[in-house]
Amino acid sequence: MSEQPATPPAPVPDRQRLDENAAASLRRYAAGERARVDVLVAVLEDIAENGYPAPETGVLWETARDTHLERLAVQEPRVA
């Protein structure tokens, strides 16, 4: 820990409110991200508890890549 005193938090600027549809869309996106992170956390906790899986039981990275690319190809296009 630092020996220096903590600086006070910066004031929060006024925020622009989202319309109802934008807020709902953002909540759906957050829920999807939370679900993906929960899967990652479960995998990491399993590795921490049981160690790495045997290489023979895994999926080749090429197969995983191709499967993921196929899944992306059928999704609706999104604009960033």
19-75 per-position pLDDT tens digit? 999 999 999 999 999 999 999 999 999 999 999 888 888 889 999 999 999 999 998
The better pLDDT of the pair 3, 36 is held by 36
Q: Please check the confidence at residue 1 and state whether its pLDDT lies above 60.
A: no
State the Cα–Cα distance between residues 30 and 22, nearest whole angstrom: 12
- Residue 3 is predicted with a pLDDT of 67
CB 18 within 8 Å of CB 26:
yes
In the prediction, which pLDDT does 11 show?
75
What pLDDT is attached to residue 77? 78
Q: What is the structure's pLDDT at 80? A: 64
DSSP designation for 2:
-
Domain ranges of the chain: 20-74
